[in-house]
Amino acid sequence: MALLATYYLPGMYTEDHSIRVPLDWSNPDDGRELNLFYRVLCAPGKENADLPLLVFLQGGPGGAGPRPLAPQSDGWIAEALKHFRIVLPDQRGTGRSSRVTAALARSMQPRELADYLHHFLADSIIRDFEHLRVSEFHGRRWVSLGQSYGGFLTLTYLSLFPGAIAAAFTTGGIPGIPAGPDSVYQSTLRMMKLKTERYYERYPQDVQRVGAVADAISGGGVSLPDGSPLTVRRLQMLGAGLGMKPCPERLHWMFDEAFCAGDGSVPVREGAESGPLDGRELSDAFLMDVLDATQSYSRPLYWTLQEFIYQDGGPDGECAPARWAASRALEASSEMAEGTRPLRFIGEAALPQMFAQDPSLKPFAAAEDLLMEDTRWGRIYDVKRLASNETPLQAAVYADDMYVPFAMSLYTLRGTGSAHAWITNEFEHDGVHGPVVFRHLYNEALDRGDLAGI
C-alpha cells in the first residue's frame, strides 16, 4: 500500500491511498497492472478509533468515487461518518485509478481496445475491491453502500464473495436478474416518456420552446462550441438527468435562455417567405449549456460501457450480443422520433450517433461496434448464491426510477435471501445524496439487528 497524503477537509479526516491490481484477474501474473486509488474518511477526533468499515460502491458505470466538499455536501456521508470509517475507491478506469481516456483509446487498435474494456466491468471491479479488503484491511468484513450501478456491483459482490460483506445497503440499484439490455431498455423507454410528460406538465410553456429549438436545428448546420453538430437526437439527450433532482428545473432554465433576440421569446415568423427558424437565433449561452450537459470528456466509460453492464456471461461465459439495444428501442418508437411534437427527451441510452459526433467518444467508436457484437462476457451474478444469501441487504427501491426498472428490482429482491425492500416514491434516483435515505436504511438495519455483528 502507498499512503499518498493525509489532510483535513471540513468535517473530515482524509487519507489518500493507492495499490496495484492486475488488469486481468483471470491471468493475474501476465504483468499488466492498474493503479487502484482509494480515499478513507472519518470524523475528526476518530482518527485512531476502531470503527467499522463502510465501502461506497459508486454509480456509473465509469464513475469515480465522490469528492465531498463537506459531510453535508453528500447526505449519506454526514450520516455514515457518525458510525463508520468510510472507504471511497475510484473504480478502475476512473478518477485516479488508471483512468481510461480518449488519448488511451487512440493509442490502441479497435480489437485491442475492445478486449481491454472488457476488464472494466463488475466482475473485475469487485475482484479489485475484495483484494483491497483482504490485503489492506486485513480481511475484515465491511459494510457496503451501493448507489445506482453500485447496487449492481453489490449483487456481484454477494455472488462472487459470499461472506465478505457484513451488511449491504443499496439505493436505486437492484438490477433485473436475469435481464439483458433489450428488456431493460424496453422498460426504461416507458419511463423516459413519463418523465417528459411530467416535465411538460410542470413547465407547459416549454412545449413550444423545446419544439422551436428542435425545429431550428432540424435542418442541420448548427454546431456546438467544440465544433460537434447539434442534432435533434443530441437535444433529446438532455433528458438523461430527468430522473434526478433538480434536473427538470435546470432544463427549464436552459431553454428559458435558448433564444437571443429581443426578450428571448420564441421568434415568430410572418408568412412562408420568412422561412423557418434556424440555429442563428439560438444563444451562445444555450449552445454552451447543451455542450456541458452532453459532452463526455470527463466520463467516457459511462457511455462506452453503458449497455454492457447488463451482459452477464453466466456459468458458460456466453450471452446474446447487445447490438445497440437502446438505439433499436428508440428507433422502433414513433413517439421518440425526432420529428414528433411535443419532442420527448431520452434518458440513459448510448447511441451510435454519439460515437460518431462527440469528439471525446470518437476514439472509442470502432471498439464500441465490436463490443456490441461480442458474445463472451464475464459472469456477474450467481442466482443460486443470491437465493441462499445470508448477508442482510437493505434496499431503497424508487417506484418512479427512470434508470432501474421498478418491477425488475422487486423480482430480483424476491429471489435474494435476507433482502428487505423499502419502496418509496418520495425520492428520485439520486435520493441518497440528501439527508434522509441512508439514515432511514441504517435505522431499519439497526432495528432488525442486522448490524449487531459489526
Per-residue pLDDT of 29-40, as tens digits, reads 999 999 999 999
The pLDDT, as a whole number, for residue 276 is 67
Question: Which pLDDT score, from 0 to 100, does residue 354 have?
Answer: 95
Per-residue pLDDT, averaged over 157-185, amounts to 96
Give residue 277's pLDDT. 74
The answer to whether 9 and 44 have CB atoms below 8 angstroms apart is no
Strand ranges across the sheet with 419-424: 2-9, 12-22, 33-42, 85-89, 53-57, 142-147, 165-171, 393-398, 419-424
Residue 271: the pLDDT is 60
Q: Is the dihedral of CA 408, 410, 411, 417 positive or negative?
A: positive
Residues facing residue 20 across a β-bridge: 35
β partners of residue 423: 397
- What is the reported pLDDT for 95? 97
User: What is the DSSP pairing of strand 33-42 with strand 2-9?
Assistant: unpaired
| Overall average pLDDT of the 7-24 stretch | 98
Cell 448507489: give the residue. 147
How many CB atoms neighbour CB 193 within 10 A?
16
* Higher pLDDT among residues 269 and 327, named by residue: 327
Beta-bridge partners for 398: 424
| Between residues 273 and 189, the one the model is more confident about | 189
pLDDT band at 397 (very low <50, low <70, confident <90, very high): very high
Render 306-355 in DSSP notation, one character per residue.
GGGGG---TTTTB----SSHHHHHHHT-GGG-TT-SSPPP--S---HHHH
Can you give the pLDDT at residue 278? 74
